[in-house]
Structure 1
Amino acid sequence: MNKIHSKIWNRTLGALVVAGELAKSNGKGGSARRVRAGLLATSLATGALMFATGAFAADNASASAQAAAASAPAKPAIKVQLAQLTPQVVSPTDPYFSADGAGDGSDTALSDGTYSVAAGAMSTALGTESIAVGHNSWANDDYATAVGGNSSAFGIGSSAFGNSANTSLAYATAVGYGATASNYNATSLGANAQATGLSSVAIGGYIVDATGTPKAFDISGNPAAAVASGDYATAVGPGAQASAHGATAVGVGANASNQNNVAIGNSANASGTSFSVAVGTAAQAIGDATIAIGNSAAAVGNWGTVIGVQAMGSGTGDTVLGIGGNASSDYGVAIGYAANAVGAQTVAIGGAAAAGGDFSMAIGSGAEAYSTNDQAIGSNAWAGSGQGSRNMAIGNGATAGNATDATQNISDSIAFGASSTASANQAMAMGVGATANAANAVALGAGSVAARANTVSVGAVGAERQIVNVAAGTSGTDAVNVTQLNQGLASVSVAANPLAISYDAADKGNLTLGGAGGTLIHGVAAGVANGDAVNMGQLNGVISKESADVTSLTSQISALQLSGGSMPTTIAVDGSTAATAASGSGGVAIGSGANAGGANDTALGGHANVNADGSTAMGANASVAAAATNAVAIGESASVAAASGTALGQGASVTGINSVALGQGSLADQDNTVSMGTATNQRRLTNLAAGTYDTDAVNVAQLHSSLAAAELYTDSSTQTVMNYVNNAINSLQTGGSASMPSTIAVDGNNTASVAAGTGGVAIGDSAKAGGSNGTAIGGGSFAAGPNDTALGGNAKVGADGSTAVGANTNITAAATNAVAVGESASVTAASGTALGQNASATAANSVALGQGSIANAANTVSVGTATNQRTITNVAAGVNATDAANVGQVNSQVNAALATAKTYTDASSSQTLQAAKAYTDAALGNQQTLSDLRTQMNDQFNQVNKRINDQGAMGAASTQMAINAAGATGIGRLAAGVGYQGSRSALSVGYAAPVGSTAHLSVGATTSGSQTSVGAGFGIDL
């Protein structure tokens, strides 16, 4: 203990003072380490801590010097030396604040900016109102804030919070261990988050496992945190990367690597050259301006659109809608569950529909178009065979080509009708169950069979049909009707002798009857064998029947059309550029380059072209000219150039009005005719029943029967007529009709099109689908089936495979695997996802990003509501290392860190005091004289007196300053307080500001002579 040794003169006080045993002469005190501390805050009457600060005090002499210096324009900065602090306590046993440093002057704090504050060893605050708190912290520019060891804030108004957090330019903000915001207005939040682009945002730390060990690394081998390196880029989520201008990456490991790309969802990747969008877990938008929406959806080629879980579009301009859908070449269209468009510019619509060859089309559940320009329309329809092309199958289960033998290279076959089959080159089968299995054969009507090449069949063995309404033939290959036959028989020339019957030659090859006005043959019995003559009753019966059949067949041909009802709206489906159907109302155009240019037209097939009202063209390059109203052209390159014409077959052509061309390459170039070939390529008409009416066609048996009866009288002349008629019959041509059950229908006003059953596609007003493989496009679309897809209008879906895009989209009914993009998008549960306008999603594996977001919990990602925030809201306290932390959780961690720092400082201070005591003991042992002891003691007492007065003055100043700083609002409040005790005075200066609506931050400093203290505080409402 110090003892009073003597009284000595104190030059500072101008008076005698008592000197203790430790006092030295010449006014010099001991060299023990000095530790300075000050009261950080004041407890108000409520007992709650309101503000933490420090005070600045000076003895009377130095205070006057500072007053003189105050005339300079700049206000004095507050220089605080945290390295020399020891705990200042509110009570003797309750340390309030402490800091540690070398204590030798080598790491003092520096605050040179006006109203700046520096707290911590080697801390530096250089700008106006800048704040640096923490060891080696640095606030370099005006209004900059750096809080945390080794933190640095460079740039006006920049803020760095957290150990090693740093900012580089104006208004940047970095929060978190090692967080970096290195550009103007950049914001980073999270351990090692990096925001390096202009106005960029990076939120999220490392991707770690349950033990906190990083499990994702960048190309340099460093753990991957959120990085926003492009200007105006946004990266939200652990490991999220937004590396180009305007890029957005949201989700764990999400990556948007080029200009204006958007990646939303865990591991989502948008890497196209620009404007690529990937939404969903592991979604990939790789091509330029591509869109991939759905878990594991991938859009690889440029300008592609892929929507659906595991959907894939790998070519340029592909469009894929539906779970597991695929388009693998350029400009393909695949719509429906597992729809597959393989060839270039192909179209596949319907569950498991497949279009394999270039320019091919498959529409309907399970429909397949195998080769180039093949078309299959209808559930399980098949078109194609080996290396063949241009085959067309329309109807449920229709087959054009060969579905089982790839060695059969069949081309230009047409099967029209449910279960119809055309299995040879240029074969045509029209009608339910019709079969044409020979080259260039035509089977017309339900159940008809054409088994011989170059023939037309209108029935089958045992199920023959008549052909009615047959006009009289004019050319050698024309068919004759019954009237014409009768006239031919009646016009047989009579021999010179009117009463005689004689042969014209010795070989008896011809017989001429000589009646002046013709000769009647009476009493002719009905013919039986093919060589028998027919009598009039028999012939009239045949002619009458044939006339009725021909009339019926003509009616069927006139009624043949591809769509029914009024069609005020149009539809176009295409693989590269949109087919057009807008020139006339009610048009339908399906296929690459297809065009329906007139009212109520139908163009079906690649480059099919219709320019006349009420006409139909089906098949690649099929065409109807502008003058050919109410015409029908069916088959590849089939064409009609005159009104009411009908061309059926590959390359068939009609140039005569109201004419019909049946079969491959047939030409009808005269008005009101039926042609089954050309002048050099005739066909026979087989399975023809005997005619009964005057305009009916006759078959060979009927003709032979008639001629055989006539032969009793007219051997020679009848033979001439028979030869004429036989030749005509062999080239008889006709037309037919066929039903066209299909799974596609389009309507604009009436009851909507519906494709119900195992997997339909419904397009149009009140569309439904209802089959297990769904797809309904437009109008009142619905599509309730296991693998639904519904696009637009009043789209609904109703669970299972889901996907609904646009208008009033909905999904519900336990919404398994959902998606839903646009207008009133909803979902309600299961695997969720809903992007845009009125997006919802309500739980399960949610997501829901955009306009009216919600998503309410489960495995969530929301970014909207709870009154429409948008930053990232509704964050629960994190549990695992990869979880987001909320403000409460952060505050808890901060408080724990402060408690740890306090304990550490207490221990350090204890060691310092022990070292000082040891040093003092050693110094006392070295005192040589009593005089030295007296002088030293005197100085010690004087210092003790000054410190006691300093502490009192500092406490009073701190209290006054704290009271005035409390309740700060706006950008904050700067407060000062003055205190006096004994001969000592003190000045306290502090700054307090609100942080958000529930927290406050405060800093302050105090000084009195050589005594200084500093403090910082943070409080949050609970």
Structure 2
Amino acid sequence: MPAHRCERSRARGGPTSWGQAMNRIHSKIWNKTLGTLVVASEFAKAGGKGGRSRRMRAALGAVALSAGLMLSSTTALAADGTQASSSTASTPATQVQATPQASMPGDPYFSADGANDGSDSALSLGTNSVAAGAMSTAMGTESSALGYNSFALDDYTTAVGGNSFAAGIGASAFGHSATTGANYATAIGYGAGAANYNTTALGANAQATGLSSVAIGGYVVDASGNPRDFDISGNPQAAAASGDYATAVGPGALATAHGATALGVAAKANSANNVAIGNSANATGGDAAVAVGTAAQALGDTTVAMGFQAAAVGDFGVVIGTQAQATGTGDTAVGMGSNANGNYAVAMGYAAGYQGIGTQSIGIGAGASAPTDNSIAIGATAYVTGMQSVAVGTGATATGNNAVALGTGSLADRDNAVSVGAAGATRQITNVAAGTQGTDAVNVNQLTAAVASSGSALAVSYDAADKSGITLGGANGTVIHNVAAGTADTDAANVGQVNSSIASSVGQATALSVNYDAADKAGITLGGANGTAIHNVAAGTADTDAANVGQVNSSIASSVGQATALAVNYDAADKAGITLGGANGTAIHNVAAGTADTDAANVGQVNSSIASSVGQATALAVNYDAADKAGITLGGANGTAIHNVAAGTAATDAVNLGQLTAVTGQATALAVSYDAASKSDLTLGGANGTVIHNVAAGVAGNDAVNMGQFTTLSGQLGTLSTLENQNLLSINQLNSQMSIIQSAVAVLQQAPQGANMPNTIAVDGAGAASVMANSGDVAVGNKATVSGDHGTAIGGDSYAAGPNDTALGGNAKVNADGSTAVGANTTIAAAATNAVAVGESASVTAPSGTAIGQGASVTAANAVALGQGSLADQANTVSVGTASNQRRITNVAAGTAPTDAANVSQVDQALATAKTYTDATATQTLNTAKAYTDAALGNQQSISDLRNQMNDQF
């Protein structure tokens, strides 16, 4: 029995006065403040009605109201202040008596069952009121109570149905146990209850208890008809609108808060001004939330969730698309399976954000994800993992912090860097204006001019293209400084190596040579510990020649044959000396080979000894390579050191290590050297950076780049820094999309679809939006169309043709698979798969192209156009303008890797350093080389002189 039903008791014997009527009426007034029915003490409007009889007109009116209500065997009807009973009344009022149906053969169309003893008579006390049915009561003016135990309490109320109860002016209760409790309330259906002013409850057990609330629908039942959903008390849950101005439509629908609207089976709107439309749609977490679609969830304040199982969890979120979700505050997720999980994040496109969208980050395009904070990923499968980074282009990836990846497949994997390609997939940067600031990019024209002015005439070049020779141009020879020690046979040797080789050779020769005892050459002392034999002594011919043993022996033999006068005698008895008497010296012949240290040596021994010594000296001597003395080749297997070289003074003198070290130190101070032997790094030493001049345009992946090549990149960076002013990624465009979404929500609020919401959503416009069945598509806007699976089209006349396409903006057209267009009138041609166009009228006609900026255009594959009106018409390039409208690229950091951009400051410093180094070292290098050559030749001449001296001595 419903809570609002009036419980009444009847006094047996039949009431015949107002006091008796009061005895059968209890708890019949609804108290809104207490929330229950209370007993009223008196009925002012009901007093005195017994004396105001109505004629048969009232009775006929009651009969007309009751026509068709076929009950059991007896009838009961009372009209205009009369009481119907089973006996003739003594009052003059017109009455219809309750008699067995069989006794009224002329009136077979009205009957009512009752005790037929006067104890349960109908009672009509209000002016022009009607009561029909056993124990029915009509208390108010022109009230009507039709049905067993029905009760119409107040003026103009209507209660129709067994145990129905209508309280409140103008209230109506239709159905068994239907109940109203306030003015102008309407309850229709078994057990329906409308308990507040201007409420409407329609459906079995539907309850409308809030001011001006509406509840339409009964229980949610299973296939067997049994209740499926229950309230917290375990009772079956019918439609209920308990909030003021709330609306609940659908079995089990609940609208429990002020202004809430729940449309659909088991739809729930439990917070102020919430809207839930769809089977099991739920808008319960915060105020002003909107959930549209089967199982859609809007759980935060002012959130919007549209689509099958769409979920907006955080406050201020907007979600559109099947299974799309936004869990953070202020998030936006549009597209099937899109996911925005960071605060104030945006995910648009099929499965956009499937790897997450960070706080204040944006992911636009099928599968685009930016899980880190303050990042942007635009393009199908674009991905950002670095903090505050940007990836624009299909498959573009930014893993470095504060990095930017531009173009299809580009990779930015270093912090604070901009990449326009990837390893093995580089792009040129075209239409670069000349840099003016230190951090501007330089173009080829600038670099060419810088190289021409840097003193290229001082460069050392090959004599011919075959690289077979180099001729140094110094008039007096050219010194080459900072020559590393050669290791291969064809390497250049530095002075240190040559000096070492010469010193080694001279040292070896000196150790075995026979030298004068003093500079005056007055004596030679042979160094043998037991004396020294001189072999291979030729027969002396001059008086001062050494005699060999043969000559001595011959002389002795001749002397023995002569007379004593020819004998050789001791000079004195002590035999201390012998003086040979030859006026010009005396040859001693036939001298036997000496064996003891004090023996005379014959010429043979002397010759043999000399030959041996000379042979050894010759083997170690440094000789000219030919008789013209044009060259000397030192014979050391690993080079030959020349020691004890005096400092050269003349231009043709050899230089020693001390001189070379001094020169090398000067060269080293100005030389550009590797940081380590591994040659993996090179640091330029300028306090304010170092300019490298005359750098040719790089062509290979590890070539140096010049200023001309990188001015284009600077222009692109400048373009990015002014994207907002150029409406390349305009917030107004996003606001426009949000306005479309809000308009769609408004339309849905005004025109609910009922219990069976589709899994796709098409909203707004005179022309219907369209999507493919079972595709997971989203189309929002006048004539918005999606033709491929998992596509998203938002905006009037927007079109997404292929799978995983995203078109955002009025008349945005995507005709190729896996592409993304953002902005009014953006277009992507059918051939431009995996492309991205951002900005009003931006267009891409080639595969993997990326166009960013109003009117930007890409016509070549894998190209990028940045900035308003920019044109990229060459494959694998980045353009920041056109041939007639160029841009500078500013704020370019100094490049560090071979494929990095160089800024103007770097190029200027490199050019200045190269010029200074060349100027400072050219003359010194030439002079040092000449001195080195002269010194080496001088050392060789010294060795030749030594050999000649030894020959002279023997």
Task: Provide TM-score, normalisation by structure 2.
Answer: 0.43
Higher Cα Rg: structure 1 or 2?
A: 2
Between Structure 1 and Structure 2, the one with more strand by share is 1
Q: Which has the higher contact order (CA 8 A, sep 6+)?
A: 1
What TM-score do the two structures reach when normalised by structure 1?
0.41
More helix by share: 2
